[in-house]
Each structure stands twice: as structure tokens, then as C-alpha cells.
């Protein structure tokens, strides 16, 4: 038992190393991209943006449906928009 406690204490004292991953929240896509507003109906989204590139079937409870467009995705619950997410567009590398 004392060996186990000593081993646990030594293991806990080891330094932890991790890489940092920077996620550019709020910098994805163009700020001029128009997306559906929360509460809009599926019919209104269809009328305003046309057919989605891909429509995913409902998942979970309550059922959440996702429509993917070229520059954004729309999430629906009970036929109403609950969120719209602009797809990340990586910035072009800077010229030297």
C-alpha cells in the first residue's frame, strides 16, 4: 500500500504537457454572410435561402434537424431555427 501511495504521489508530480489549439471563434467566414434568424420557420428558410445542399434527418429528443448550405448550417427544433452556424473559412497564408 505505501508503494502505491508513493507511486501515485510521484505520478501526480510529473509536469503535464499539452499543445495549444487556437480556435478563431467569431472570425469564421465573412461578416457579411446572411444566415437565418433564431425562431424562423423551415418554410421561411427554404423561401429565403432555397434548397439546402444537404438535409440531415432528425436526431435525438427533442428531434434536431440540420440543413447544410455552402457557407453555413442551420439547426431546427420543431420546425423552427434554434441556431445558425457560419462554416470556418481558413484564411489564405500571408505572402512573404
pTM exceeds 0.75: no
pLDDT at 16: 66
Our measurement of the distance from residue 29's CA atom to the centroid of its chain's CA atoms, rounded to an integer in Å, reads 13
Q: pLDDT at residue 63 above 60?
A: yes
Quote the CA–CA distance of 91 and 29 in Å, as a whole number. 9
Quote the CA–CA distance of 96 and 75 in Å, as a whole number. 40
Tell me the three cell numbers of residue 18. Answer: 499539452
Q: Which residues contact 21 (CB under 8 A, 6 or more apart)?
A: none
Is-contact 52 67, C-beta < 8 A? yes
pLDDT band at 1 (very low <50, low <70, confident <90, very high): confident
Amino acid at each position: 500500500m505505501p508503494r502505491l501511495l508513493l507511486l501515485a504521489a510521484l505520478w501526480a508530480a510529473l509536469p503535464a504537457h499539452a499543445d495549444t489549439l487556437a480556435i478563431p471563434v467569431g472570425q469564421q467566414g465573412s461578416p457579411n454572410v446572411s444566415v437565418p434568424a433564431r425562431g424562423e420557420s423551415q418554410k421561411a428558410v427554404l423561401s429565403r435561402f432555397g434548397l439546402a445542399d444537404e438535409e440531415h434527418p432528425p436526431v435525438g429528443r427533442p428531434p434536431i434537424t440540420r440543413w447544410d448550405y455552402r457557407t453555413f448550417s442551420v439547426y431546427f427544433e420543431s420546425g423552427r431555427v434554434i441556431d445558425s452556424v457560419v462554416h470556418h473559412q481558413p484564411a489564405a497564408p500571408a505572402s512573404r
